[in-house]
Structure 1
Amino acid sequence: MAAELPIPIFTSLDKAFPDIETAAAQGARYDSVVKEYEKRFGHKPTFIARAPGRVNLIGEHIDYVLFGCFPAAIERDILIACGPSQPGSEATAQDGATRGGVKAENLNPKYQPQSFVPMLKSASAPSAAEEADAASTVHAEASWHLDIDKRELRWESYVKAGYYGVLNRFFASNTEHPVPVDMLVTGSVPSGSGLSSSAAMVVSSTLAFLAVNNKLEGITKGQLVEMAMENEKRVGVNSGGLDQAASVICTPHSAIFVDFFPRLSAEPIPLPTPRTVPRAVFVCANSLVVSDKVVSAKIHYNLRVVETLVGARVLALRLGQQLGPSERPRLREVFSRWLGSPELESSPEKVKAELLRFLPEIEKLRPSPQGRKEGELGVTMKEMVEWSGLSEEQFHQVYLSWVDVEAEYFQLYKRARHVITEAIRVLEFREVCLRAQAAEGDLPEDTLRELGALMDASHESCSKLCESSCSEVDQLAELARASGAYGCRITGAGWGGCTVSLVAEDQVESFIAKIKAGYAPYKELEGEKLHEVIFATKPSSGAFVLKLDA
C-alpha cells in the first residue's frame, strides 16, 4: 500500500525528479535556496524538506466524514532548508540550545523573521498508589507548548504546528532534547488559493523537524499524513486528511484515490489523458478571492464539519441506530452501520452500489416545511439540539466545546446530501480512470467528457448544497465551460481560491486567453503575473527530503 511506504530521502535532485528538464529547472532553484540560507545563517543547511500543494480533482468536504477523495499533487510546492543552529546563534540563546529553539526566515519579504523556543511542561508524578503497584509501568511524561494564536493568521504558526507533533511524539519522555534549528522557507503555492499551501507548509515543516532531529527512520507516508493532520489542527482547522495525503503520498503521472475508512489507504490511479484523443491537462485558475480556512472557520469550514457531524447523529437515530450520549459518529460510520455487513464494503465498486441505495435515506433529514420560510431547509440551534436526543449541556460538550461555529440556520439535510452524492461521484470518477487504464489503444474524447460531467456536477453540489463556493468562483467555472473546458469545479476548502478545469492540451493557450479576457481581475495581468494565477499543471511526486552534503 502506498501509505505504508517510507518517506523518500534523496541525495541528488536527479533522483527526486527523474525528468531531466524538471531536475535541471529545479536545480537552479534549490541552489539558490542553499546559497541564501548560508548567507543568512552563516552555515550550510543539512536538509531541504519539500512538500507540494495539491489539486483535488473531485471529492470536496467529504474527507472529514471519512469518504474517499481523488486529489493529485501539483508541481508547485513549499521548500524548507534547515540545519542545526551554530553555537552562539539566536536559536541557541536563552535555553534555546537545550529546548530546541528555532530561528525561522522566509524568502518572501512580506513575512518577517521569527524566533521561538518551545516550552517543556512536566507531567505530574505517579501517585503513591501507582508507585506501590509493582505491575505499574506508569512514567511521568512531559508535554510541549508553542504559542499559536488561532485568531490571527501568521506564517510561522504553520511552522510551529509542524514542530508540535515532532516534539510530543519523540521528546515527551524528557530524556532527550530537540536540537536548535535554523530554517529558511520558500514556496510557489499561492496562499489562500485552494491549492493547500497550509497543508504543504505543515507537511514540510513536520518533515524538516523530523530530518534535523534524525527521526525520519521508520516513519511511513501514512504516519506522516496522520502527524500532519493533527499538527494542522493546532492552527484551528479540523482537517480531514485529504490535503496532507495528497501532499505526501502522490506519485508523478497519477492522482490517488485516498480513503479514510476503516483506516487511511491510498491507491495511485493513472489519469487517462496521455492516451486520450485529444490529450488533456488540468488548468488551475485562482479567483483571487483569498480563502483562509483559519480566519473564517467558524462560519465556513468548521461550521460544515459540525453540520455534517450533527447530521450524522440525527440520521443514525432516525435509522434506529443506538448511540451513547458522548458518541459523535461520522456519516461514513453511520453508512457502515446501516449496511450491517463489512463484506459489502470490500471494494469501492460495492460501496458505490450501496451508496446509491443509501441516498434516499438522507430524506429523513429534510425538515418539515410547516412553520418555515419557503425553501428554508435549515434548522435552528434549538431544533438541532432537540433532534440530537441530547440535553443542551450534552450537545455543547459533544459538538461545540472543541470548535467555534456561528449560524442562524444549520443545514443538516443539504450537507448530508452533498456528502453522499459527492462520494458517489468520486467512485464514478475512479471507475472512468480505471476503465481508461485497462483499454487498449487510444481513448475516445468521450472519456474526457465523462470526467468533465462529473466535475461539473461536483461544482454544482459544492455551490448549492455544501455552499462552499462564491460568486467569483462560480463565474470562473461558468466561463471555463464556455471557453472549451470539458468540465470545471471549485477545488479546495472553498469560499474563494481556485477552480480546476479539464482542458484539451492543444487548447490551453487559447483557453487561458479567453479566461483572461472574460474574468475582470485578470485583464491587466501579463506574463509571469498571469502565469501565477492561471496555469496548467501535471501530477507531481509527493513530499520528500533532500539530504545535502555536510
Structure 2
Amino acid sequence: MAARLPVPVFTNLNDAYQDLSFAAKQGVRWDELTQEFEKRFGRKPTYIARAPGRVNLIGEHIDYALFGVFPAAIEQDVLIACAPHSSDETPAPGTVRAHNMETKYAPQTFTPMLLPPSGLQEKEKQAQEDKAAASSVHAEGWHMDIDKTQLRWESYVKAGYYGVLNHFFSPSASNNTQPIPVDILVTGTLPSGSGLSSSAAMVVASTLVFLAVNGKLEGLKKGRLVEMAVENEKRVGVNSGGMDQAASILSSLNSALYITFYPSLNAELIPLPTSPPRAAVFVCANSLVVSDKVVGGSESSVYGISHLPPSCAVIKGAKTRYNLRVVETLVAARILARKLNLQISSPSKKPFTLREVLSAYFGLDEKEEGAIDPQLLGAGLEDILTEVEVLRPERLGFRNDDQNSDKGEIQIGLTMDEMVQASGLSNDEFRNIFLSWVDVEASHFQVYKRAKHIFSEALRVLQFRQLCLSSSQSLGNDETSTSTADVLKSLGNLMNASQESCASLYECSCPELDELTQITREAGAYGSRLTGAGWGGCTISLVDESDVQGFIQRVKARYGPYQNLNDTELEEVIFATRPGSGAFVFKLE
C-alpha cells in the first residue's frame, strides 16, 4: 500500500521522475534554482523538496465527509531548496531565512519560540477554543505567529515547519535537541486559487524540507507525512479533508489514486484508460477566477506566478463558501442520522460525518471489520440516496415556498433556528459542536442539497473507478477501439454529471466555470468538470490525445479571457497532463 512506503530520497533526477525526457526538461529548472540559491546564500543547497499539485478527476467536496476521491498528481509543482545556515552569525535555534524566487515577495526571517510552561498552559487553552487548528494536535512547546486572515506565502512555510518542530523537537525529549538554523528558497509553477492544490503542495514541500535538513526523514512513511501535512495546513485556516495532501504525496507515475479515509487512510493505484488505440489525456483549463478559501485578503500567488493575466478575478469568502459547506454537511449528517434512528458513537462535542452515517446505516462497526467492499458500498449509496429525501425542508416540517418549478430544487433551505430544531440539540449544544471552531455566514442552510451531492458524488467516484479497472483488465482480451471509446464516453458522462451536481446541489461552481465546461464539451471533450474547491480555479476535461492542440485552440477562440493571451500565457492556463509521481526529496551531493 502506498501509504506504508517510505518517503523517497533521490540523488538522480532520472530516478526521481522515472521519465528521461521529463527529467531533462525539469533539470534546467532545478539548475536555475540551485544557482539562484548559491547566489543568494553563498553556497549550494543540500536538499530540494518537491511536491506536485493535483487534479481531482472526480469526487468533489466529499473528502471531509470521509468518502473516497479520485485525484492524480500533475507536472506543476512547488520546489523548496534548503541548507543549514552558515555564516559568522550565530542565529537562534531554528531561525529560518526564507526567500522566494519571485522578486515581488520580500525575504522573510522568523524564529520559532519555545514557550515556558505558563505559555504552554495559555496556548493549550487557546487551542481548545480553536478546534479547527488543534483537532489532532498534541500540547505544543513551539510557537510561530501565522496570520490566518491573509494568504501570505511564508505562512505556508511556517505551517509545514510548525509540525516538524512539535513532532520531532519536543521540549520534554531526553536528548533535548534543537532545530538548526536554515536558509530556504522557494519556487513554483502552480497558480494560487486555481483548484490545483497549490496550498497543499506548498505545505508538503515545507514539511519535507525541514524534515530533511534536520535529519528527521529516516523511516518516515508516506501515510504519516500525509497526516502531518493535513494537520499543518489547518494552521493557515483551511479545514482540509486530506485529499490534496494525499494526492501530492502518494501518487505514482501513470496511475490515478482512489483514496479512502474511513476507517483509516488507504490509497489504491488505479490505471487510467489512456492506452492505444484510443489514447486520452486530461486537459486542465484555468478559468482565471481565483478562489480564496481563507477569510480575508489574498496575494496573487503563494510562491511566485507573476506573468498570468492581471485581469484574474478573485472570489473571496470562506465564511459563505468553503467553511459553510463543511458545517452544512456535518449538520446534515446529524439530522439524517436522527431521522433514520441511527445510533452513532461519537464524543459529545465532536460532529460525525455522512460517511459514518452510511456505516451506521449498514450496521457495521468498520473500525473492527475493515472498509466496506466498493461494490457493497455502491449499493449502500444507492439505497441511502432514497433516504436523503427526508432532509427536504418540507419533510422536516418547515415551510418551503421557493421551489424551482423546472427541477424541483429546494432553494430556501433552513434558517438557523430551524436547523437547530431539526438537530434535536439545544442552541448552546448546537453552536458548541458545529460553530465554535469555524466562522460561517448564511441566512439559510442547504443540508438536503449538500447531502444529496455528497452521496451521489461518492457513487460516481466508485463508478469511475470500476470503469477504469474494467478497461485495464480488458486490455489483453482483444479490446477494440469501439469498446475503449465507449469507456471514455462513460467516464465523460460521469464527469459531466459531477459538474451538474457541483453547480446545482453543492453550488460551488461559478458562471465562468459553467461557461468553460460547456465550451470544452462543445470543443470535443468527452466530459468536463470543475476540479478543486470550485468558485473559480480550473476545469478538467477528458480529451482524445490526438486532438489536444486543436482542442486547446477551439477553447481559446470561444473563452473570452483566453483570446488575448500569447502562446506562453496560453500554455500556463490550459495544458494536457498525465498522472505523475508524488512528492520526494532530492539530496545534492
Query: TM above 0.5, one fold?
Result: yes
Instruction: Please give the secondary structure, in 1, of the residue aligned with 2:290.
Output: coil
Alignment partner, residue 220 of structure 2:
219
Amino acid at match of 2:45: P
Instruction: Please give the secondary structure, in 2, of the residue aligned with 1:25.
Output: helix
CA root-mean-square deviation: 1.8
Alignment partner, residue 47 of structure 2:
47
Give the Cα–Cα distance (whole angstroms) in 2 for the partners of residues 514 and 189 of structure 1: 24
Alignment partner, residue 2 of structure 1:
2
Alignment partner, residue 169 of structure 2:
171
Counterpart pick for 1:500 among 525, 535, 540: 540
Counterpart pick for 2:105 among 92, 95, 111: 111
| Aligned: 1:364 with 2:387 | no
| 1:123-171 CA distance string (max 9 Å, x none) | 36999xxxxxxxxxxxx97521111111111011111110111011011
Amino acid at match of 1:110: K
Q: Is the 8 A contact 1:345 1:351 kept in 2?
A: no
Counterpart pick for 1:153 among 151, 158, 161: 151
| Aligned: 1:346 with 2:372 | yes
Alignment partner, residue 186 of structure 2:
185
* Alpha-carbon distance, 1:283 to partner: 0.3
* Alpha-carbon distance, 1:388 to partner: 1.5
Q: Is the 8 A contact 2:113 2:142 kept in 1?
A: yes
Give the Cα–Cα distance (whole angstroms) in 2 for the partners of residues 419 and 545 of structure 1: 35
Equivalenced residues, count? 530
Give the Cα–Cα distance (whole angstroms) in 2 for the partners of residues 218 and 158 of structure 1: 25
Alignment partner, residue 269 of structure 1:
270
Instruction: Please give the secondary structure, in 1, of the residue aligned with 2:352.
Output: coil
1:181/1:125 Cα in 2 relative to 1: closer, same or farther (>3 Å)? closer
Q: Is the 8 A contact 2:393 2:400 kept in 1?
A: no
| 1:222-274 CA distance string (max 9 Å, x none) | 11111000100001000000000100000010000000000000000011111
Counterpart pick for 1:406 among 441, 446, 464: 441
1:483/1:38 Cα in 2 relative to 1: closer, same or farther (>3 Å)? same
* Alpha-carbon distance, 1:114 to partner: 0.9
Instruction: Please give the secondary structure, in 2, of the residue aligned with 1:273.
Output: coil
Instruction: Please give the secondary structure, in 1, of the residue aligned with 2:35.
Output: helix
| Aligned: 1:422 with 2:445 | no
**Aligned pairs (5 A) from 1:24-423:** 24-88=24-88, 92-93=90-91, 96=92, 98=93, 100-123=94-117, 143-174=141-172, 175-275=176-276, 277-295=277-295, 296-322=317-343, 325-341=348-364, 342=366, 345-368=371-394, 371-375=399-403, 376-423=411-458
Amino acid at match of 2:236: V
Give the Cα–Cα distance (whole angstroms) in 2 for the partners of residues 529 and 344 of structure 1: 48
Instruction: Please give the secondary structure, in 2, of the residue aligned with 1:445.
Output: helix
Alignment partner, residue 135 of structure 1:
none
Instruction: Please give the secondary structure, in 2, of the residue aligned with 1:285.
Output: strand
| 1:199-227 CA distance string (max 9 Å, x none) | 00000000001101111112111111110
Instruction: Please give the secondary structure, in 1, of the residue aligned with 2:268.
Output: strand
Mean Cα displacement is larger for which, 305-314 or 18-27?
Answer: 18-27
Alignment partner, residue 554 of structure 2:
514
1:125/1:399 Cα in 2 relative to 1: closer, same or farther (>3 Å)? closer
Q: Is the 8 A contact 1:50 1:544 kept in 2?
A: yes
Instruction: Please give the secondary structure, in 2, of the residue aligned with 1:346.
Output: coil
Instruction: Please give the secondary structure, in 1, of the residue aligned with 2:117.
Output: coil
Instruction: Please give the secondary structure, in 2, of the residue aligned with 1:494.
Output: coil
1:336/1:141 Cα in 2 relative to 1: closer, same or farther (>3 Å)? closer
Q: Is the 8 A contact 1:491 1:498 kept in 2?
A: yes
Give the Cα–Cα distance (whole angstroms) in 2 for the partners of residues 361 and 292 of structure 1: 34
Give the Cα–Cα distance (whole angstroms) in 1 for the partners of residues 115 and 219 of structure 2: 27
Give the Cα–Cα distance (whole angstroms) in 1 for the partners of residues 198 and 350 of structure 2: 33
Alignment partner, residue 22 of structure 1:
22
Q: Is the 8 A contact 2:294 2:318 kept in 1?
A: yes
| Aligned: 1:538 with 2:578 | yes
Amino acid at match of 1:529: E
* Alpha-carbon distance, 1:110 to partner: 2.3
Instruction: Please give the secondary structure, in 2, of the residue aligned with 1:115.
Output: strand
Q: Is the 8 A contact 2:263 2:370 kept in 1?
A: no
Instruction: Please give the secondary structure, in 2, of the residue aligned with 1:231.
Output: helix
Give the Cα–Cα distance (whole angstroms) in 1 for the partners of residues 119 and 214 of structure 2: 27
Give the Cα–Cα distance (whole angstroms) in 2 for the partners of residues 195 and 84 of structure 1: 31
| Aligned: 1:469 with 2:509 | yes
* Alpha-carbon distance, 1:305 to partner: 0.5
* Percentage of pairs with the same residue: 59
Give the Cα–Cα distance (whole angstroms) in 2 for the partners of residues 24 and 333 of structure 1: 47
1:307/1:125 Cα in 2 relative to 1: closer, same or farther (>3 Å)? closer
Give the Cα–Cα distance (whole angstroms) in 2 for the partners of residues 257 and 464 of structure 1: 25
Give the Cα–Cα distance (whole angstroms) in 2 for the partners of residues 385 and 162 of structure 1: 37
Give the Cα–Cα distance (whole angstroms) in 2 for the partners of residues 124 and 146 of structure 1: 16
Instruction: Please give the secondary structure, in 2, of the residue aligned with 1:209.
Output: helix
| 1:365-419 CA distance string (max 9 Å, x none) | 1111863332234101111111112111111111111111111111100000000
* Alpha-carbon distance, 1:88 to partner: 3.7
Mean Cα displacement is larger for which, 113-122 or 509-518?
Answer: 113-122
Q: Is the 8 A contact 1:2 1:267 kept in 2?
A: yes
Mean Cα displacement is larger for which, 261-270 or 325-334?
Answer: 325-334
* Alpha-carbon distance, 1:278 to partner: 2.2
Q: Is the 8 A contact 1:325 1:390 kept in 2?
A: no
Q: Is the 8 A contact 1:377 1:414 kept in 2?
A: no
Give the Cα–Cα distance (whole angstroms) in 2 for the partners of residues 499 and 126 of structure 1: 45
Alignment partner, residue 130 of structure 1:
none
Structure 2: gaps spanning 5 or more residues: 122-137, 296-316, 404-410
